[in-house]
Chain A
Amino acid sequence: MILSLIEHEDGTPSDVSLQMLTLARDIAEQTDSSLAAIVFDDGDAVTDAVATQGVEDVYSVTHDRLDVYAPEAWAESVDQLVEELDPEAVLAAGTDRGHEVLAHVVARRDLPMAANCTEVDAGDAYEVTRQRWGGSLIEHARFDSGMPVLTTAAHEIAAEPATEAADVTTHDFTPTLDDDDFRVRVSRREESDAEGIPLGEARIVVGGGRGVGSSEDFDQLEELAELLGGTVGSSRAAVNEGWRPHDDQIGLTGAKIAPKLYVACGISGAVQHMVGCKGADNILAINTDPETSIIQKGEYAVIGDLHEVVPALNEAIRNGQ
């Protein structure tokens, strides 16, 4: 059995969890194993979505103290399921929670963990292909021994449905948890006052870099994003200049985006920035320098000053609406 931790919001599995299931199913096929999922809260709610990915068994974890996220309680629950089910391998999506929960599991079980994997060759020893430097470098590595535990790189694997939807059986699982497992838990949630679509979820992103020149000049990019129904991001250079908050930063240590279109304005395309936007289906670069890196890597480009091109584009879109 290949056991996968599914993250969901009100019964809708996260995109990255569904992407992770593609790799989990690949391992299940290679090892002639079944595919099972661990779901906290309500396993039944995700049944249809995971069935299309080939998941046959859903372990629905419920506990009266698991009303909010608590990393060690989640890890203890996964650990108890691992003990009971003795899976071939354990996977989670490479999210904050996925990394955190599985890191606790491997620390308890004295096992290695491979983060941000994109491929697995489950031969005699498990060989994985994983991302380092946020994806600007690839590592081929081998698990020395023990149960392979890994997370998958976000937006690197397509969430492909299985050839046939599985017939899902849901199993209720109530872990035995004590006070120690709740040393860390979400005390409360604060809503963001930031408006608009979060960068990681946006279908269109308009990014600005050093070439934008000032925080005021980001207004033109804001307008373009609004006209396209998207959101604004920035390079690290623009954050360092104080033109944008860090939350807008796309890159190695910022947001990873996966929009249909990324309009990169005045951005050179440094390695660290490209790591954040390589999930974009299409990049349209607007830049005065035809030799700049992002033009080598993108799909479309306009050679010119963004301060002239973006207002003209905004006007054309407005006139066309």
Chain B
Amino acid sequence: MEVLACIKRVPDTGSRIVLTEDKQDIDTSNLGFTMSPHEECAVEAAIELTQSHGGTATALTLGPDEATEQVRTALAMQADEAVLLETDGSEWGAIDTAQAIAEHVRNRDEELDLLLFGNESADAGNYQVGVRVAHELDLPCVTGIKSLTVEDGTAIAKREVSGGSEVYEVELPAVISVKEGLNEPRYPSIRSKMAAQRHDVERSEPERTAAVGLEKIRLETPEQSEGSAEILGEGPEAVDNVMEVLSNDLEVL
């Protein structure tokens, strides 16, 4: 089966986010980049599915030349092919991104069985690229998936709901956007990382549509609460004070 996992290059922000002076972007001068965590699971799923059913797992990203790094990470994880839809590095919205991905899929030689997306990108959190691509290609789409198997041309996908899971059985080809927890993405070996550096990356420059959208005015970091917690004590001796807080202040005992 032919599986395409769509990923996004995002700044790796384990620490505090600092904005550029014009408040339009994150200052990445001291940050590395990574792929969104949900999408790492999409890549892993693409690899596992093609390893058990045969076929090709392709990783695709839309972004600047530097985003090659993220598709090479997917190759190092054992994806078979990689595609870069190269942009000038400016931020693309959900509509133009979806249109570019759909156009790439229409122009492919091989028809796809499954298109995997992260449920939402870590940075923009738009929650809609997968659905829009499905709409462009007239494919069924399930979002928010944390379990995925394929049997006899049908994807069996599960979404967590309160008290259990909803199970969807969708005929392929289909679009599925997944959440972290779907699987445990593998760590690439040094050897596979080196092989990934030598692997071809298919490139094209998508035409950006003049789509109506949501225009970013500026970014802001939320106010941090000043000061710090009330220290109730050190070690087990603090327990009396904790009991006091739990009983009287918070009334949870």
Which A positions have Cβ atoms within 8 angstroms of B?
9, 69, 71-72, 94, 96, 99-100, 103-104, 106-108, 110-116, 127-128, 131-146, 151, 183-192, 198, 200-201, 203-204, 228-229, 246-247, 249, 252-254, 260-261, 270-272, 282-285, 290, 295-305, 308-309, 312-313, 316-317, 320
List 11 additional A-B contacts (Cβ < 8 Å) besides A107-B134, A229-B252.
Answer: A104-B135, A136-B17, A190-B158, A201-B162, A253-B179, A271-B15, A295-B229, A299-B230, A301-B231, A303-B233, A316-B242
Can you report 28 A-B residue pairs in the complex whose CB atoms are below 8 A from each other?
Answer: A71-B142, A71-B143, A96-B143, A96-B161, A107-B128, A107-B131, A107-B134, A107-B135, A107-B136, A108-B135, A133-B125, A137-B26, A137-B220, A144-B213, A144-B214, A183-B140, A189-B166, A192-B165, A253-B122, A260-B252, A261-B250, A271-B15, A285-B229, A296-B228, A300-B230, A302-B234, A304-B233, A316-B242
A19 to B236, CA, bound (A): 40
If over half of B's interface residues share one DSSP class (helix, strand or loop), that class is named, otherwise mixed; here it is mixed
A282 to B249, CA, bound (A): 10
Contact in complex: A189, B229 (CB < 8 Å) = no
Contact in complex: A103, B131 (CB < 8 Å) = yes
**Other-chain residue from B128, B170, B230 in contact with A115 (beta carbon distance below 8 A):** B128
Which B positions have Cβ atoms within 8 angstroms of A?
13-17, 26, 37-38, 93-95, 98, 120, 122-128, 131-132, 134-136, 140-144, 158-171, 179-181, 211-222, 224-225, 228-236, 238-240, 242-243, 245-247, 250, 252-253
- Chain A residue numbers with a CB within 8 Å of B225 are 296-297
- Chain B residue numbers with a CB within 8 Å of A137 are 17, 26, 219-222
Contact in complex: A104, B213 (CB < 8 Å) = no
Contact in complex: B140, A133 (CB < 8 Å) = no
- Chain B residue numbers with a CB within 8 Å of A300 are 229-230, 232, 242, 245
Known interface pairs A141-B214, A309-B235; A271-B16 also in contact (CB < 8 Å): yes
Contact in complex: A113, B122 (CB < 8 Å) = no
A116 to B122, CA, bound (A): 13
Contact in complex: A115, B125 (CB < 8 Å) = yes
Contact in complex: B217, A299 (CB < 8 Å) = no
In the complex, the chain B residue whose C-beta lies closest to that of A131 is B125
